[in-house]
């Protein structure tokens, strides 16, 4: 089976977050369609040296992703059903939950909550997790959708998570940076009000705000974002948003 580029990217991102490095991923993905194999066929399929594959399958076996059996004098390796990834993650979640009370005892309370937080590279997605916890269940954004999607990657699915959390969205979008088409029905289904900004606005950065938090994003190339927890900054950005909303036009680019 041939995977699309998007599928390959999503798989690599998630397996990487699961703790598999590039050689681990190549070996594991090469073993899945083979069913069961000895080292030599697996090395050919993965394109890695035999000695490298030997050490990699050892790690994958320890992680519980691969089973090894012995046939005569050879070891045969088999990738377990991928559903094992979910079970391993559930087990890790249970184990972490067990030690959280102990770790909280060790943590000293901060003197004051930080007002400004800076996020680099893969930590930028932490901001979207925070937005999903909006107390008033409403998030505003002024965005270049293509650049924001490049920051999120294929695996995060912010819209799906937001709808599941019941968080509504008011969105002002740069038309030149749009990546999808939406109908009025799609906006309603995805709890979104959206407008296109005036066409002369073509910036690539984005702003998102909820409660008393305002988040600023650069681009995936710069891999930088920051949040400000301030009612004053929030009020300022809210008024800028409402002014832009009043001069923007409806975003309905697909048939119902």
| Confidence at residue 111, expressed as pLDDT on a 0 to 100 scale | 55
**Six token digits for residue 59:** 């790690």
pLDDT at residue 97 greater than cutoff 90: no
Span 43-77, pLDDT tens digits: 999 999 999 999 999 999 998 899 999 888 889 99
User: For the range 57-65, what are the long-range contacts, defined as Cβ-Cβ under 8 Å and sequence gap of 24 or more?
Assistant: 57/27, 57/31, 59/24, 60/24, 60/27, 60/28, 63/19, 63/88, 64/88, 65/28
- Which superfamily is assigned to 116-250 in CATH? Endonuclease Chain A (3.30.870.10)
Which of the following CATH numbers is that of domain 5-79: 1.20.1540.10, 3.40.640.10, 1.10.10.10, 3.40.50.720?
1.10.10.10
Q: What's the pLDDT at 153? A: 72
Predicted model pTM: 0.59
pLDDT of residue 90: 86
Q: What is the pLDDT of residue 154?
A: 65
Check pLDDT > 60 for residue 186: yes
CA distances from 129 to 84, 132, 158 (A): 26, 5, 9
- All CATH 1.10.10.10 domain ranges in the chain, comma separated: 5-79
């Amino acid at each position: 089976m041939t995977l699309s580029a998007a599928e390959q990217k999503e798989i690599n991102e998630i397996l990487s977050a699961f703790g598999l490095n590039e050689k681990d991923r190549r070996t594991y993905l090469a073993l899945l369609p083979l069913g069961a194999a000895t080292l030599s066929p697996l090395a050919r399929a993965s394109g890695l040296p035999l000695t490298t594959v030997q050490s990699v399958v050892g790690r994958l076996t320890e992680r519980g992703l691969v089973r090894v059996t012995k046939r005569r004098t050879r070891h045969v390796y088999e990738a377990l059903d991928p559903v094992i990834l979910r079970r391993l993650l559930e087990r890790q979640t249970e184990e972490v939950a067990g030690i959280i009370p102990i770790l909280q005892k060790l943590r000293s309370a901060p003197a004051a909550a930080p007002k400004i937080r800076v996020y680099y590279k893969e930590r930028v997605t932490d901001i979207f997790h925070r937005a999903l916890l909006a107390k008033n269940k409403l998030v505003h954004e002024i965005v270049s959708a293509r650049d924001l999607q490049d920051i999120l990657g294929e695996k995060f699915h912010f819209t799906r998570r937001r709808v599941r959390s019941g968080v509504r969205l008011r969105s002002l979008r740069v038309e030149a940076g749009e990546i999808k088409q939406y109908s009025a029905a799609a906006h309603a289904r995805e709890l979104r009000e959206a407008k296109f900004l005036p066409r002369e606005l073509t910036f690539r950065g984005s702003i998102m705000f909820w409660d008393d938090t305002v988040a600023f994003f650069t681009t995936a190339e710069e891999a930088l974002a920051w949040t400000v927890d301030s009612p004053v900054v929030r009020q300022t950005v809210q008024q800028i948003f409402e002014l832009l909303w009043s001069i923007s036009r409806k975003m309905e680019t697909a048939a119902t």
